[in-house]
Amino acid sequence: MKYRLLIAYRGGGYAGWQRQSNAVAVQQKVEEALAQVLSRKVVIHGSGRTDTGVHAAAQVAHLEQPEPVVLDSLVHGANHFLPEDIRVLRADPIGDDFHARKSAVAKEYRYRMSRCRVLSPLAAPFSIRIDPAVDLDSMRAAAQLLLGRHDFTAFAASGGAHRDPRRRILEAEWLERDEALVFRVLGEGFLRGMVRALAGTLLEVGQGRRTVEQFGELLVGAPRSAAGPNAPPHGLVLWQVFYPPELTVPGEATLPSGQPGSR
């Protein structure tokens, strides 16, 4: 039996999603909780890593399990043993050919920036503060340039060995949410550190520190040093992971038809 887990977490207390030898990661906490529930050693496979401090509204992982389990027991049992900043939102049986990372066709991230003089403690856990005077039109024009397939070397964390630095972006926009601007980006895949580097560099466009044209020139394989800094991790949320329709569980969104990843 294979099960698909939907997992949410606040990233502040963890060294990212992926299990590490020298720091506590979210994957480790989930595996330890499931081990308590299932009374055996458990290994889960996530859709991909998230960096230290980055949040997830809906990370996806899968679990191989010799015997069928009661879904509610799995969810509530895991949550009983998990710290309050990690929750298994749901568990679903899924076909044997499902793999949380390999089957994923797209991911959506959101990065939140609050336009204010002082950041409210109600927003602070999930947002950074930016100058209210940023030029949203420029930031929107630059985001539009992301659509399609580009060489994102300029936005890849050094140290990440990317065989192919090209990725296809399906949607990219700035949403206005109360006083906040939210950078929403949907892509077939992302290089390590890419969304935070995009957010930090788009912000420089909004601040007038680089033009929309200069931003566009980064998308042809410019070196990392040519782009702006990574925006801080706590503004970023892994929002959703998309799978092909035949591997999507009831109530979960699929990609809009016509998108390359939608089959």
Rounded distance between C-alpha atoms, residue 227 and residue 168, angstroms: 19
| Measured CA distances, 219 to 4, 144, 155 (Å) | 35, 12, 9
* 150 token code pair: 């580009």
Q: Return the beta strands (E) in 13-127 as ranges.
A: 44-46, 55-64, 86-94, 106-115
Residues annotated as part of the active site: 51
CB of 48 to a second copy, least distance (A): 19
Q: What angle do CA 31, 91, 182 make, to 5 degrees?
A: 90
77: alpha, beta or left? (left if phi > 0; alpha if psi -120 to 50): alpha
Q: Considering the rule CB under 8 A, would residue 57 count as an interface residue with a second copy?
A: yes
Instruction: Choose the binding region for a second copy from 37-45, 82-90, 167-175, 206-214 (rule: CB under 8 A).
Output: 82-90
DSSP result, 66-93? SS---HHHHHHHHHHHS-TTEEEEEEEE
Helix (H, G, I), strand (E, B) or coil at 154: helix
CB of 76 to a second copy, least distance (A): 8
Which positions from 201 to 240 touch a second copy by CB under 8 A, shown as an x/- string? Answer: ------------------------------------x---
Instruction: Choose the binding region for a second copy from 33-41, 46-54, 114-122, 215-223 (rule: CB under 8 A).
Output: 114-122
CB of 41 to a second copy, least distance (A): 25
Q: Which of 10, 29, 112, 210 binds a second copy (CB under 8 A)?
A: 10
Q: Considering the rule CB under 8 A, would residue 86 count as an interface residue with a second copy?
A: yes
Q: Considering the rule CB under 8 A, would residue 87 count as an interface residue with a second copy?
A: yes
Residues that bind a second copy (CB under 8 A): 8-10, 55, 57, 75, 79, 84-90, 116-122, 124-126, 237
